[in-house]
């Protein structure tokens, strides 16, 4: 068993969370709330670092244009002082940046390039399935036109293709928590109790 203080802290924190597997209890809730508070503080610390490096330092070195994002950023907090209308101004800028970022990149990268990659020679079963599958899935999402016989049949094929996709996603999701369990067990059995094979 280790004498490292850090590992003991980590082990106590991990066991506090895993006590939930027996039943919900105050120790688990303390650990949960500690995590939420610490995470929020970490985000604030990192945010302050960004503001200091990109805004405060340039402002102090004489770059007056840095005043604009500073004022806009502080406007976010106007809602807590009874002026939610002022808080909408920085939101408008952020929305514009988000919309512009999407419009400059998505049409090429996520639409045209993906359509281009679907234009394949129909000389193999896999290519046929890929092309038919994409067209069928797209036709499933045509909600503005009525589903006639042909369109309805194609959309049904799309539904089956999506089911296989969701099955594959579920198969992948199963491992979502597994590596985390392995991580916790490596801490408990390896770093703490030293029972793992080297």
Partner 1 sequence: MTPRARRLLYLLFIVAVAAPMIWPVHIPLVVKPETRDLYDRIDSLSPGDVVVLSSDYSPGTASDVHAAAVAIFKHLMEKDLRVISVSFTADGPQFAEQMLATAPEGKEYGVDYVDLGYRAGGENAISAFAQDLRKTFPADIHGAPVDSLPVLAGVTGANDFALVISVAGGEPGPVTWMRQAGQPYGVPIAGVVTTVMVPPNLPYYQSKQIIALLYGLRGAAEYESLVNQPGAGLAGMGSQSAAAVFILVSIVIGNTLRISAAKKGGARDDD
Partner 2 sequence: MKEITVGLTFLVTVLMTVEGYVSIAPLTKAVGELKNWGIILSAFAMGLAAFGLISLHVAKVRKRGKDQLYSAVLLAGFAGFLAMGLLAGPSSSLYAFYYRNILQSIGNAVFSLLMFYIVTAAYRSLSINKWQSAVILAAAAFVMLGSVPVGEALWNKIPVVSSWILKVPNTAGQRGILITSAIGGIAAAVRAALGLERSR
Distance CA 11, CA 187 (A): 7
- 193's contact among partner 1, partner 2, none, with CB below 5 to 8 A by partner kind, is none
Among 60, 67, 92, 193, which residue sits at the site for partner 2 (rule: CB under 8 A)?
A: 92
| Binding-site member from 60, 67, 122, 180 for partner 2 (CB under 8 A) | 180
b/e code 36-46 from CB counts within 10 Å (16+ = b): eeeeeeeeeee
Nearest residue (CB) to partner 2, 102 versus 194: 102
- CA dist 162 and 171 (Å) reads 14
User: Of these, 2, 25, 67, 110, which contacts partner 2 (CB under 8 A)?
Assistant: 110
Binds partner 2 by CB under 8 A, chosen from 104, 122, 153, 194:
104
Query: 47 with 76: CB under 8 angstroms?
Result: no
Whole-number CA gyration radius for the chain? 27
User: Residue 83 or residue 159: which is nearer to partner 1 going by CB?
Assistant: 159
Write out the two tokens for 89.
């101004």
Q: For partner 1, which is the closer residue by CB, 81 or 170?
A: 170
Which option in partner 2, partner 1, none does residue 90 bind, with CB closer than 5 to 8 A by kind?
partner 2
* Touching partner 2, residues 122-141 (CB under 8 A): 126, 129-138, 140-141
Cα atoms found within 13 Å of the Cα of residue 171, Cβ hemisphere only: 6
9, interface contact from partner 1, partner 2, none, CB < 5-8 Å by kind:
partner 2
Exposed / middle / buried, residue 140 (Cβ in 10 Å: 0-12, 13-18, 19+): buried
Interaction residues for partner 2, span 142-161 (CB under 8 A): 158, 160-161
């Amino acid at each position: 068993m280790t004498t490292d203080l850090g590992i003991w802290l980590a082990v106590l924190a991990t066991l506090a969370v895993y006590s939930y597997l027996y039943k919900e209890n105050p120790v688990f809730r303390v650990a949960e709330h500690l995590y939420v508070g610490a995470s929020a503080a970490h985000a604030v610390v990192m945010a302050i670092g960004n503001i200091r490096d990109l805004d405060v330092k340039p402002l102090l070195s004489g770059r007056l244009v840095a005043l604009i994002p500073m004022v806009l950023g502080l406007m976010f907090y106007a809602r807590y002082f009874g002026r939610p209308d002022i808080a909408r101004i920085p939101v408008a800028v952020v929305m514009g940046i988000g919309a512009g970022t999407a419009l400059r990149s998505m049409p090429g990268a996520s639409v045209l390039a993906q359509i281009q990659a679907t234009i394949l020679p129909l000389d193999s079963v896999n290519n046929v399935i890929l092309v038919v599958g994409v067209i069928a899935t797209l036709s499933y999402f045509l909600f503005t036109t009525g589903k006639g016989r042909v369109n309805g049949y194609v959309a049904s094929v799309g539904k089956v293709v999506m089911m296989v996709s969701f099955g594959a996603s579920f198969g992948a999701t199963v491992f979502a928590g597994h590596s985390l369990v392995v991580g916790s067990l490596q801490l408990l059995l390896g770093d703490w109790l030293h029972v793992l094979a080297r």
